Structure 1
Amino acid sequence: MVTGSPDMKSSKHHGKNIQKIRVYMNVKQEALATDLGLSQQGISALEKMEYIDDAMMDKIADVLGVSADLIRDFDERNVINNINNVRDCSFSDNSINSVAGTFNPLEKIVELYERLLTSEREKVEILRNKSNNE
C-alpha cells in the first residue's frame, strides 16, 4: 500500500506535499481518511512518509481533486513564481498588462484557495445530501 523506497529518484517528500495541498484546500485529516478508508492516524503516518507508491498516490490525488504529478512535484516556490510570472504572459486584449503594477501574488493565492475551499464545501454538502437520501 504505502512504502518507503530507498532507491527513490526524486528528493520531493510526498507526504509533506500531500499535507500542504490538504491544508491549502482546507481538508482535515479525518475527512481525507474517511474518503480513503483509513484512520486519521493513518493519514498522519502517510504525511510523514517521503515516498508513497503510485496506487495510493492516485487514490489520494483523486480524493483531493488534483493530479498525482502535482502532489509528487509540488513546490510552493514554483507556485508563487508562476503567479508572479503571469503578468509576463501576453493576451490579445492586453488585460493582464493593464494591472501589472497593482498585481499582488498573495491576494491571488488567497483568492485561489477561497475558490477551492468553496468548491470543497459544495462537494461535501452534495455528498452529505446524497448519503442522507440513501
Structure 2
Amino acid sequence: MDTNTKVHHGHNIKRLREMLGIKQDTIAFEMNITQQSFSEIEQKEVIDEKVLSKVADIMKVPIEAIKNMTDETTINYINTFNDVVTNNNGCPFSYNSNCTFSPIEKIVELYNEKIELYERMLKDKEAMIEKLSGDKK
C-alpha cells in the first residue's frame, strides 16, 4: 500500500457495513454499546486494534480489510468478495469452491445421533427405575 495514502478506519467500517447490509444498531448491540457510540466509532480516523478486531469479527470480514482499505482497494475487495460468494458451488462465504459434504448425509447423521441419545436416555431411565425399585425392598 502507498505510504502517502490515508486510511480512515471508521469510514472503512461504514463502507463495509453498508455493503454487507448491516445496520449500526446491530453491531452496537453485539458490542454491548449504544448505536450513537458506534456511530462515533465510524467517525474516528484511527480505531484501537481491540475495537477493530471486535467489529471485524461481528461483520465477518478480515481486520486487514478495515485497516488497509482505500478507495481503490474498496472496489477490488468488493469484487473479490462477490466472486467468492457467487462462485462457490452453493457454499456461501467459503473459500473452498467444492462442498465436501452432502446436506442429506448430514441430516441422516444428526437423526442417527438423536436416536442413539434417545436410546441411552431410555437405558438410563430403566436403570434408575430398577435402582429405585431395589431400594424399596
TM-score by length of 1: 0.53
What is the aligned partner in structure 1 of residue 61 from structure 2? 66
1:28 to 20, 23, 32: 23
More displaced 10-residue stretch of structure 1: 10-19 or 37-46: 10-19
What is the aligned partner in structure 2 of residue 112 from structure 1? 82
Listed as ranges, the matches of 1:41-120 within 5 Å are 41-80=36-75, 82=76, 109=79, 112=82
How far off its partner does 1:16 sit?
0.4
Contact 2:5–2:70, Cα closer than 8 Å, also in 1 = no
Larger of the two Rg values belongs to structure: 2
How many residue pairs were aligned?
83
Report which structure shows greater RCO (CA 8 Å, sep ≥6): 1
How far off its partner does 1:79 sit?
4.1
What is the aligned partner in structure 2 of residue 102 from structure 1? none
Q: What is the identity, as a one-letter code, of the residue corresponding to 2:45?
A: E
The answer for unaligned runs of 5 or more in structure 1 is 1-8, 84-107, 121-134
Percentage of matched positions with identical amino acids: 28
TM-score by length of 2: 0.52
The answer for unaligned runs of 5 or more in structure 2 is 87-91, 94-137
